[in-house]
Amino acid sequence: AFNCSEGRELLGTAETQCGASGNWSSPEPICQETNRSFSKIKEGDYNPLFIPVAVMVTAFSGLAFLIWLARRLKKGRTNAPATGPQSAAVLRQEISRKDG
């Protein structure tokens, strides 16, 4: 009987017999390296629920990140100290009120 080492698959029949004429009953099998990374998906051997669930999880994760980012940016804007010409004018007015 023929067999292959781990990571390889047998192509051909596992057993062959020598006939009365001296010929084998089937050609010699060969061992071919298997690439199992996506073979189950290619063969259709996966749960069809997997793809929509993966899409929904990705979409909700992206949405949650965008909401978190928007809230963080909004919070940063309201807590940031005012800068620029308008805030300088307000500061001058407050100083003049205290002096006067």
16 CB neighbour count, 10 Å cutoff: 15
Domain residue spans of the chain: 1-45, 47-80
Segment 9-26, tens digit of pLDDT: 888 888 888 889 988 888
pTM metric for this prediction? 0.36
* CATH superfamily of the domain spanning 1-45: Complement Module, domain 1 (2.10.70.10)
Segment 27-82, tens digit of pLDDT: 888 898 877 666 666 667 677 888 899 999 999 999 999 999 999 998 877 665 55
Q: Which residue has the tokens 């990374």?
A: 37
CB 17 within 8 A of CB 24: yes
Let me know if 29 is exposed, middle or buried by CB neighbors in 10 A (0-12, 13-18, 19+). middle
